[in-house]
């Protein structure tokens, strides 16, 4: 069995840093991730630079980023302006990002749940016409800091519409990291009832309550084979303050290695990268595996 790791450190991780990380550091970070064996590395976002100043250097980064054959470098694109910017850089893989709740749609996208689809539809249509691969995220799949628990059926309805725009995959985001395994099961059941199986789904757990690995294992047991994570467990969302970092890629690889599931990722090499980045960011990685291997 094989699991594809969709690495989000350079995007989800760095978008939440209080200091702006220099473009050379981002370039080296992405290069090291590819060297460690990651084959999908979400590099940056073409969002409004005032909304996410940490990633305002997206064009500069991509212009100077050495591409490794066989590695994909998707970027976040919310609207047509973002798509134009991505097309200019020769991007081949994008991800749109929707919200299951009204509160987060307004805060993260300045849209309603309904009007987000109007924003995304022309993006996906034009991206597909350019031969791009388009992924979709749906955020707040378990609970929302302003609205509380979110019903699985509500997430499935929004997710289905994002997929129907023409996206090849939907990543289920636990943006604030409150989900637990039983809720993961219920969410996957709701999608299955709507005819969306695990082959169209990925999971994206933030680790705020330490549940990310347990939730991921639950999803894998249900047939999910694409898992999002961030090297060293960095990350969060600037428009959902309670969110912390993603599931750490090292913690995920350690578990999958133990299960005999192939990922192609070298945990030692990845840990060295996370330790290097932690030094630059000025704080230790929250990953337990990084901390343990650093002591060895």
User: Per rule CB under 6 A, is residue 136 in the interface with ligand HMG?
Assistant: no
CA distance 263 to 257: 8
Of 190, 161, 157, 50, the C-alpha closest to 110 is 50
Quick check: is 237 catalytic? yes
Applying CB under 6 A, which part among 45-53, 152-160, 184-192, 249-257 lies near ligand HMG? 45-53
What is the Cα–Cα distance from 164 to 166, expressed in whole angstroms? 5
- When CB distances to Mg ion are compared, the closest residue is 12
Looking at the Cβ atoms of 33 and 293, the one nearer to ligand HMG is 33
Interface residues with Mg ion (CB under 5 A) are 12
**From the list ligand HMG, Mg ion, none, which binds 52 (C-beta under 5 to 8 Å, kind-based)?**
ligand HMG
- Evaluate whether 241 touches 280 at the Cβ level (below 8 Å): no
Q: Match 């969110």 to its residue by tokens.
A: 243
Q: Does the footprint of ligand HMG cover residue 130 (CB under 6 A)?
A: no
Position among 9, 152, 173, 232 found at the interface with ligand HMG (CB under 6 A): 173
| φ/ψ (deg, to 5) at 172 | -90, 110
Site for ligand HMG, residues 211 to 240, rule: CB under 6 A:
237, 239
Contacting ligand HMG (CB under 6 A), which of 81, 130, 182, 221?
Answer: 81
Residue 260 beta carbon to ligand HMG: minimum distance, rounded to whole angstroms: 29
Work out which of 21, 34, 91, 109 binds ligand HMG, going by CB under 6 A. Answer: 109
Q: What count of residues does the chain have? A: 296
Q: Which is nearer to ligand HMG, 209 or 239 (CB)?
A: 239
Token reading at 263: 């990922």
- Here the contacts of 258-265 (C-beta below 8 Å, separation 24 or greater) are 260/1, 261/1, 261/2, 261/3, 261/220, 262/1, 262/2, 262/3, 263/2, 263/3, 263/4, 263/5, 263/37, 264/2, 264/37, 264/38, 264/39, 265/5, 265/36, 265/37, 265/38
Contact between 271 and ligand HMG (CB under 6 A)? Answer: no
Residue 153: closest CA among 100, 103, 221: 100
Residue of minimal CB distance from ligand HMG?
173
**Does residue 184 bind ligand HMG (CB under 6 A)?**
no
79 binds, among Mg ion, ligand HMG, none (CB under 5 to 8 A by kind): ligand HMG
Q: Give yes or no for residue 256 binding ligand HMG (CB under 6 A).
A: no
Q: Which stretch binds ligand HMG (CB under 6 A): 74-82, 155-163, 217-225, 252-260?
A: 74-82
Residue of 58, 237, 253, 278 with catalytic role = 237
* Residue with Cβ nearer ligand HMG (125 or 262): 125
Q: Under a CB-based contact definition with an 8 Å cutoff, are residues 112 and 106 in contact?
A: yes
**Smallest gap from residue 292 Cβ to ligand HMG (A):** 26
Distance between CA atoms of 230 and 245, rounded to whole angstroms? 8
CA distance 248 to 52: 22
Query: What residue ranges bind ligand HMG (CB under 6 A)?
Result: 12, 15, 45-48, 51-52, 76, 78-79, 81-82, 85, 97, 108-110, 137, 139, 173, 175, 204, 206, 237, 239
């Amino acid at each position: 069995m094989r699991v594809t790791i969709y690495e989000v450190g350079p995007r989800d991780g760095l978008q939440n840093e209080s200091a702006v990380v220099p473009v050379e550091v981002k370039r080296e970070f992405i290069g090291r991730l590819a060297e460690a064996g990651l084959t999908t590395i979400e590099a940056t976002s073409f969002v409004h630079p005032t909304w996410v100043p940490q990633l305002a250097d997206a064009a500069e980064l991509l212009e100077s980023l050495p591409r490794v054959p066989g590695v994909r470098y998707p970027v976040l694109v919310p609207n047509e302006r973002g798509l134009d910017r991505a097309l200019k850089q020769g991007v081949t893989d994008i991800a749109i990002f929707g919200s299951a709740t009204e509160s987060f749609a307004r805060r993260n996208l300045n849209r309603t749940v309904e009007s987000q689809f109007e924003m995304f539809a022309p993006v996906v249509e034009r991206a597909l016409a350019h031969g791009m691969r388009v992924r979709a995220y749906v955020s707040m799949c378990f609970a929302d800091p302003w609205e509380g628990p979110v019903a699985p059926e509500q997430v499935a309805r929004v997710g289905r519409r994002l997929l129907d725009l023409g996206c090849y995959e939907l990543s289920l985001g636990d943006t604030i990291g409150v989900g637990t395994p039983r809720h993961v099961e219920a969410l996957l059941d709701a999608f299955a009832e709507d005819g969306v199986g695990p082959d169209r789904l990925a999971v994206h757990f933030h680790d705020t309550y330490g549940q990310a690995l347990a939730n991921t294992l639950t999803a894998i047991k249900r047939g999910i084979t694409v898992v999002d994570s961030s090297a060293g467990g960095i990350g969060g969302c600037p428009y959902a303050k309670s969110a912390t970092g993603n599931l750490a890629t090292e913690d995920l690889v350690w578990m999958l290695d133990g299960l005999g599931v192939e990922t192609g990722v070298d945990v030692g090499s990845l840990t060295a990268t996370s330790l290097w980045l932690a030094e630059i960011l000025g704080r230790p990685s929250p990953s337990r595996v990084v901390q343990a291997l650093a002591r060895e």
